[in-house]
Homo-oligomer: A and B are copies of this chain.
Amino acid sequence: MTSIPGQLSPAPRLLLGPGPSDAHPRVLTAMTTPLLGHLDPQFLEIMNETQTMLRAVYQTKNPLTFPVSATGTAGMETCLVNLIEPGDKAVICTMGYFGNRMVDIAGRCSAQVTVKEAPWGQTFDLQVLRETLQTVRPKVLGIVHAETSTGALQDISELGKLCHEFGALLVTDCVTSLGCTPVKLDEWEVDAAFSCSQKGLSCPPGMSPVSFSPRAVDALKARKTKVQSWYLDLTSIMSYWGGDRAYHHTAPITMVYALREGLRLVLEEGLEARFARHVRNHVALKAGLEALGLTYTAAAHCQLPQLNAVRIPEGADDAACRKRLLTEFGIEIGGGLGDFKGKAWRIGLMGQNSRPSCVFQVLAALEVVLLGAGVKVTGGAGVAAAEKAYAA
């Protein structure tokens, strides 16, 4: 006999890591809406509404904008697997962990991959990429917009135009940017973008919103080979999330409910107000972190407001400090990934969690933990600096 575990009752957490971030209560409530069939006219209308709002948040008119039925990396895979055919040339720009993941996936698509590397915490200069595009002439250039492992924001506002000069398609990882910082697919001429539900959109993880430009759709239609993944094959998914709503797979109904509610919250607030809020809370958190002597891993010109990655101060034990934050204060922050494993902490202020109470909670708890670890910190300095920043 298998013993049956009890009712779910986890100790509460405040999720201030790199994601998942806390889901908004309205999103959780929306998920209790009874299921509809995936071909029910009522659900088809919910799909329409969700797609319309998703286009608004992505700032695009792309008809092919919808959530992939899986988490963020499946969105990455969807973009690459559909746009790359075996032997195609791809340039992948890496400046952190998730760029490397794109290299891996492009390789599995049998692309000829050229990797352009920037140091972790830095971003790419367009001039460098121009040279690469000119030399390689790839079909696809992939780049991370908001690198979750380093907290760096890559300016991609002119990159689409540049790619198109050389006939390349621009694929961007917007997993950590969407809903937190501006993402303007049309103005920036992005051809394929993917994101997630559990960061800037304040939903649980489980969906990956993607969007494809008409140029990307043309490339898809011109494929000579079948897409290697059935589940992620846009040539078929298009007929469910596109025109005729033909059955492909059973959509994760409840997750679509969640996403719809998350998008409603984004649009009710307004994009500009939301982006400004993320900046405001970031500035306060940053003032506080710096007052505690912590330094950012990302260069000063490209720090993400929604993901504050800082170097772990000397003397502090990574795992022990994060464990104390979690168990004593119920606050989750993220550890480092890849090159930054054991060297960085990542503090997210994403979606609804970008608010003063989160800033103060994490600064206060961090002060206690750092003091406890023997790091030289002036008690109250972080909180005071944040207060001052808000007042400014």
Contacts and interface: CB of A to CB of B under 8 A. Distances in A.
| Copies of this chain assembled into the complex | 2
Nearest to A251: B205
Nearest to A337: B247
A43 B210 CA distance: 28
A41 B11 CA distance: 11
Contact of A22 (B19, B23, B34): B34
Given A28-B32, A70-B69, A108-B229, A205 B38 contact: yes
B4 A267 contact: yes
A70 B72 contact: no
A contact face: mostly helix, strand, loop, or mixed = loop
Interface residue tally on A, bucketed by range: 35 or more
Contact of A255 (B49, B206, B231): B206
A10 B28 contact: no
A8 interface: yes
A376 interface: no
A41 B104 CA distance: 29
Nearest to A11: B42
Contacts of A7: 30
B13 A34 contact: yes
Interface of A: 2, 4-5, 7-13, 15, 17, 19-23, 28-38, 40-43, 46, 49, 52-53, 55-56, 69-74, 76-77, 81, 101, 104-105, 107-109, 196, 198, 204-206, 226-232, 247, 249-255, 257-258, 260-261, 264, 267-268, 326, 332, 337
